[in-house]
Amino acid sequence: MATPRPIRSMDPYAQAFWAYTQKKEFRLQQCSECHKFRWPPGPSCDHCLSDQCAWALMKGRGTVLSWTTLHRAYFPEYPAPHTSIVLELDEGPLFVSYPVGIDAATLREGMVLTLQWTDGEDTFGPYHLPVFGPVAA
Amino acid sequence: MAAIFDRKRLAPLKDTVAIVGVGETDYGADYRGAGGKAMAKGEARYDSYTLASRALKRALDDAGLKKDDIDGLCTGPTLSGERASELWGLNPRWSGSGDAAQGIIEAAMAIHCGLCTTVALVYGNAQRSMDTAYGGARVTGGGITSYFYYAPWGLTSQGALYALFFQRHKLLYGTTEEQLGAIAVAFRKHACLNPNAVMYGKPITIDDYMNAKYVAEPLRLYDYCLINDGGVAIIVRRADMAKDLKHKPVMVSGFGWSEENVDATQLRPRLKDFYHTAHHGVAQQMYPMAGVTPKDVDVFATYDSFSVHLLAALEGFGFCKEGEGGAFVQNGRIEIGGELPCNTSGGMLSESYMQSWNHQPELVRQLRGGLGARQVQGAEVAQYVHDVAGKCKSIIYTKGA
């Protein structure tokens, strides 16, 4: 069994996002008319209201914008301490994840982290979770 | 986005309504219970309507008005307007629901339009009795919000989101945790001058603050608001009907409203802008309407589910430059007797977590005068800033004649 994780927020658009993760593809919606990327997934573009979009493959690279370490275990699946990060993806959107292969004390603003995959499972089934770590030397 | 508000239409609403009555429940006594200890979460003793009813009765008594004088009702988000009206025997001619600042602004609009004359704004929240969760698996909602969207990655709670905010502020401006600590210490000092505050009689020092455990690092326990039961009511009345009541009226002299929701779930306005676009939008409406500037504000209060809110509000409304909030709050400047006394009741950190509502009675009483050691001397202009994740409103109150 894959690693249990707190339940995902699911709607038809989120389902598409998570379906791509089954193939370890990190894709976000991009408006077909004005080309704005959006996250979280949704029915229309917040810039031009077009409902036409493509699921664009992200480079999987971002810079660290901020982070926090939870010292209280809010979820049984995530014992404390647990660190969360906010990345600014190269394509523009901000993306919340957690860091792997790096200690919270050594995180720095603007540090480049790249996509890795880890496993997850909730009541919607097993999936792959996009997480981020230092660029391999 | 273009600023489309019309200053000429807003200006005539200055001083058209007044706060004539305020009431709240016994926050401290209810929190400590009969045994003097903090009541356990989930130990139900009231529901939200009990607390709201009690506050309403006290606000009417404070105003010297009767229930039948009320023709408008605005309830806080934990109450059903229909049930509240039924419970209090009211058939309102206007009703609304929202936070306290929204209620005051909308009441002013409804009164200005002639729909009603006297609005009761009522809030009650038995959140400690009900063991309300603001993080973790029990936090749920109707759809997407950053509050719980990132649960699969282990990020949850509004506290963690404000921790990300403060971490960003640290990175950009070099603000220190010790600087932030001055806020919790000041508000606690104020609570110790307020016998109704939950934390009355429990002062803290900056060492206590620094020695407290992190909850969502870099935020510590004392950066977080309380979780307690309580109710608040505020009576808003047409200004020409607000004279000759028990207290001199407190005028609603200016207000503004601006929300910053684009890319909210991504946390962009929170981390890239500290919600300052919303603050600026509100300031542009409110200060000219009231005919004051930040320099005229004698007593200040901000929504403070976390200490960090004060940094954002002070910088966003121009009390100091962006990035200088940490330095601004030092050396007693935000304490009673200082240049800009902030959250003089103890706020949501140390008086009562009434989700914006407890700040209004405090500012009203500061402008009425006579608060003893807690009184801000010569207070004539008060400002409340409401900023919940970029949903920003603000109000200028002035002393009425």
What's the pLDDT at B143? 60
For residue B289, tell me if it sits in a domain. no
Query: What is the per-residue pLDDT for A41?
Result: 95
**What is the mean predicted confidence (pLDDT) over A56-75?**
97
Cβ of B216 within 8 Å of Cβ of A70? The answer is yes
Q: Which residue of B has its CA nearest to A110?
A: B171
Q: Whole-number mean pLDDT of chain B?
A: 95
Q: Residue holding tokens 């989120």?
A: A14
- pLDDT tens digits, one per residue of B97-135: 999 999 999 999 999 999 999 999 999 999 998 888 888
Instruction: Give the residue among A83, A101, A97 at the shortest CA–CA distance from A131.
Output: A97
Domain assignment present for residue B39? The answer is: yes
Burial letters A25-62, b for 16+ CB under 10 A, else e: bbbbbbbeeeebbbbbbbeebeeeeeeebeeeebebeb
Number of domain units in chain B: 1
Cβ <8 Å between B144 and A131? no
Task: Read off the pLDDT of each residue in B337-365 and give the average, rounded to a whole number.
Answer: 98
- Give the chain A residue nearest B144 (alpha carbons): A9
Segment B372-396 shows an average pLDDT of 97
CB contact under 8 A, B271 and A40: no
Test A74 with B262 for CB contact under 8 angstroms.
Answer: no
For residue B156, the distance in angstroms to the closest alpha carbon of chain A comes to 7
Q: Which domain holds residue B118?
A: 8-131+228-241
**What confidence score (pLDDT) does residue A137 get?**
55
Residue B118 lies in a domain: yes
Mean pLDDT score, B50-54: 97
pLDDT value for A37? 97
Q: Do A5 and B263 touch (CB under 8 A)?
A: no
A72 part of contact set with chain B, CB < 8 Å: yes
Q: For residue A136, give how far its alpha carbon lies from the nearest alpha carbon of chain B (Å).
A: 22
- Interface residues of B toward A, Cβ cutoff 8 Å, are 135-137, 143-144, 146, 148-157, 160, 163-165, 167-168, 171, 213-219, 262-263, 265-268, 271-272
Nearest CA in chain B to A72: B215
Nearest neighbour of B268 by CB, restricted to A11, A72, A94: A94
Q: Which residues does B301 contact at the CB level (< 8 Å), separation at least 6?
A: B342, B343, B344, B345, B347, B359, B362, B363, B382, B383, B384, B385
Beta carbons of B200 and B348 less than 8 angstroms apart:
no
Residues of A within 8 A of B135 (CB-CB) are 74
Which residues of chain A make contact with B268, given a CB cutoff of 8 A? 94
**A68/B164 touch (CB, cutoff 8 Å), yes or no:** yes
Q: What percent of chain B has pLDDT over 90?
A: 89
Percent of residues, chain A, with pLDDT higher than 90? 96
CB of B73 closer than 8 Å to CB of B84: yes
Residue B144 is predicted with a pLDDT of 66
For residue range B189-248, list pLDDT tens digits in order.
999 999 999 999 999 999 999 999 999 999 999 999 999 999 999 999 999 999 999 999
Mutate which of A68, A124, A131, A132 to test chain B, going by most B C-beta atoms within 10 A?
A68
A70: which strand partners?
A82, B216
Residues 6 or more apart whose CB falls under 8 angstroms from that of B36 comprise: none
Q: What is the pLDDT of residues A92-123, one digit of tens each?
A: 999 999 999 999 999 999 999 999 999 999 99
Paired with B258 in beta bridges are B392
pLDDT band of residue B13 (cuts 50, 70, 90) is: very high
Could you tell me how far CA B359 lies from the centroid of its own chain?
Answer: 5
Nearest CA in chain A to B172: A109
pLDDT value at residue B5: 77
CA distances from B364 to B20, B358, B369 (A): 9, 11, 9
Q: What is the pLDDT of residues A5-37, one digit of tens each?
A: 999 999 999 999 999 999 999 999 999 999 999
The pLDDT of residue B238 is 98
Closest alpha carbon to B276 in B252, B260, B296: B260
Cα dist. A47→A32, B133, B323 in Å?
Answer: 12, 34, 30
Q: B12 in a domain, yes or no?
A: yes
Over residues B158-186, mean pLDDT:
98
Average pLDDT, integer, range B168-194: 98
CATH for B12? 3.40.47.10
Output the pLDDT for position B37: 80
> How high is the pLDDT of residue A27?
98
> What's the residue count for chain B?
401
Report yes or no: B359 and B344 within 8 Å, Cβ to Cβ.
no
CB contact under 8 A, A71 and B157: no
* Average confidence (pLDDT) over B265-287: 97
pTM of the model: 0.96
Task: Establish if B58 belongs to a structural domain.
Answer: yes
Residue A9, chain B, CB below 8 Å: the answer is: yes
* B117 within domain boundaries: yes
ipTM: 0.97
pLDDT band at residue B41 using 50, 70 and 90 as cut-offs = confident
- Has residue B17 been placed in a domain? yes
At residue A90, does pLDDT exceed 90? yes
pLDDT at B2: 53
Per the CB < 8 Å rule, is A122 touching B152?
yes
Nearest Cα residue in chain A from B162: A68
Can you tell me the mean pLDDT for B291-311?
98
pLDDT in tens, B126-162: 999 888 888 888 776 556 677 788 999 999 999 999 9
Residue B101 inside a domain? The answer is: yes
